[in-house]
Amino acid sequence: MLDKRRKDFLMNLNDFESYIDRKILARGYDYFENNCVVSIKETDDNIYEAEVAGTELYLVNVELDGEANIIDTQCGCPYDMGEYCKHQVAVFFALRDMKADHPQKDSDDLKSKISLGPGNKFFVLPQGKARSIEDILSQRTKEELVGFLLDIAAEYDEIKQRIELNFGDTNDAEEIKKSIELIRTFFNKNSDRHGFVAYGDTYEAVRGADLVLKKARAAFEHKKTLHALDLTLCVIHELMDLLENCDDSDGIVGGAIEENLDFIKEMVEEEEFNPAVKEGFFNKLMEEAANKRYDGWSDWKLELLENCSTLADIPSLRNRLENRLQSMLDDEEGDSWSVNYFNEKVFQIRYNMILQNEDEKAALDFVEQNLQFSSFRKMTIGRAMQSKDYDQVIKLALEGEAKDKDLPGLVNDWREYRYKAYNLLGKLDEQRGLATDFILAGSFEYYKDLRSTYNDEEWAVVYPQIISRLEDQKKFHSDIYTRILIEEGEKKKLLEYVKKNPSAVESYYKHLVPEFREEVFDLFLKYIEQVAARAGNRRDYQGVCAIIRNLKKAGGKDQALEIKQKFSIKYANRPAFRDELTKV
């Protein structure tokens, strides 16, 4: 069974187009129309496994319910720019055509392209139905292909620029220039008249940058290391300019910059530099990190300098880098979180240089002298754990808690170290006290740990105290309270909780029936009434109907029918609502 995606509504095979980005929808339909859905297999009732031919063969899983609602879907492709990819959309179209009694005549009918194997539910596209691009092109003459390329190059600037970039006889400087032109062409093509790239268009806008990064990788493979770096840096420059003129809510542009920085790191780690190239690479990175474009982007600046630390294997380079790092520290003022974060990153670069170029003792001394930074404190605790010096672990952790008292995440880390040390030292009272603190902060894992340290008779005394303390808190952390009630079989308390939190009936009805069957039905009906009163569009109506379906799953079929009939009358002037009710 596939993992369920929790949704406030259910998308149906008959209307999924309304919920998917129009560009992804168009690409998915192209895949469907071009026979890219290679096969579809029903592995269980309403659970389908499909193969879709893309850059490679991708596996798409789709789970439907009895009303053809898409309750779960996954694809093995790397796309992460939205909830659905083009491969999934292609399979949605294919499944709808498969299930339709009367497919539309103005679209290719997938049923005519697939065959149902005897005795199973396996659909396979006949071989040879669609010709690949390679087959088509291989049958054309050179003159035909050249003529075709000239035609589309005249029509599309980006095609012309790609041909010149990939096949033109240019020097390195010209290649940089043409690369910038190509990147900007994609920017301009996807921007409005003010030069702004809107949300949803950034994926296409950075395609030129992706193409130039491929050129940089090719240059690196051909041992043109410095030119590969120049190409990569020019991509970063252009993308950083784009950041100022786009809506990058999805992080596509930022992610593309990170990808280029990662490639620089790959080059530094993989290349066996001769001294001249190494110093040239170092100089370019140092110059780049000094550029004002990185003001406000300190993480990226520090990534560049971290690569410099890897290259700085001679005293002259290390001295230059150390002077730059110290200058950066001098420019940072105050004791804010951001300043401390920046300083810690700088000290990590210094530590890496010591680790690479000096002995282990020097590196250990540097860490011991800088325990004000959490990463160095964690290193020291790790070594103390390895040497079984658990008292030292506790000491370091307590100091960390005191220092970072205003940083809950770090405080939690220090307490976890302390808990492990108490456990290994056999300090049961301290371990139990800390486990209780974790439980009150929302950790079910520590509840189980704590339970295991008591026998049943002892636990009967301790457990009510924990529940009482949770109930006294102004708010519960995550779902710790209800999980404990379920674990302990406290169904009456769970019912009281659900009565105070009506929406929780959907999550906990399975634990309350059949003992509290009628109470659960009443809670469902009250909750459905509340949600329906607030509903104002089709998506809201689908949410109401999803709750009614859960009522049916809880065993309340008669109650579900009754509320449907009531709503059909009460909301007679809302045709979309009545339409959704007919699907329940």
Q: What is the pLDDT of residues 120-134, one digit of tens each?
A: 344 544 444 445 677
Count of residues in the chain: 584
Do residues 35 and 113 touch, judged by C-beta distance below 8 A? yes
**Per-residue model confidence as pLDDT tens digits over 393-409:** 999 999 999 999 999 99
H or E element, residue 434: helix 428-440
- Better-scored residue on pLDDT, 234 or 25: 234
Alpha-carbon distances, residue 414 vs 71, 336, 396, 422, 446 (angstroms): 41, 21, 8, 12, 15
Do residues 509 and 520 touch, judged by C-beta distance below 8 A? yes
Cβ neighbours for 411, distance < 8 A, ≥ 6 positions apart = 400, 401, 404, 405
Give the mean model confidence (pLDDT) for residues 402-427.
96
What are residue 94's DSSP bridge partners? none
Quote the CA–CA distance of 232 and 281 in Å, as a whole number: 12
122-124, strands of its sheet edge to edge: 11-12, 69-75, 57-64, 47-53, 37-44, 122-124, 115-116
Unique residue bearing structure tokens 């069957």: 517
Q: State both tokens at 553.
A: 């799953």
Q: Residue 1 — very low, low, confident or very high, per pLDDT cuts 50/70/90?
A: very low
Quote the CA–CA distance of 416 and 575 in Å, as a whole number: 56
Alpha helices of 222-336 — where are they, by DSSP H? 225-243, 252-270, 275-289, 298-311, 315-331
Beta pairing, strands 37-44 & 47-53: antiparallel
- Better-scored residue on pLDDT, 476 or 441: 441
Bond from prior residue into 514 cis (ω within 30 degrees of 0): yes
Quote the CA–CA distance of 367 and 373 in Å, as a whole number: 9
Unique residue bearing structure tokens 């492990």: 420
Three-state DSSP class for residue 458: helix
Give the mean model confidence (pLDDT) for residues 443-447.
92
Quote the CA–CA distance of 123 and 345 in Å, as a whole number: 55
- Better-scored residue on pLDDT, 165 or 494: 494
Do residues 552 and 560 touch, judged by C-beta distance below 8 A? yes
Q: Residue 527 — very low, low, confident or very high, per pLDDT cuts 50/70/90?
A: very high
Comparing CA positions, the residue from 328, 344, 332 lying closest to residue 289 is: 328
Amino acid at 333: E
H or E element, residue 40: strand 37-44
Percent of the chain with pLDDT over 90: 68
What are the φ/ψ torsions at residue 206 (nearest 5 degrees)? Answer: -90, 5
Q: State both tokens at 259.
A: 């990808």
pLDDT at residue 97 in the model: 87
Quote the CA–CA distance of 5 and 17 in Å, as a whole number: 19
**Per-residue model confidence as pLDDT tens digits over 18-73:** 888 878 888 888 889 888 899 999 888 889 999 998 777 889 999 998 888 998 89
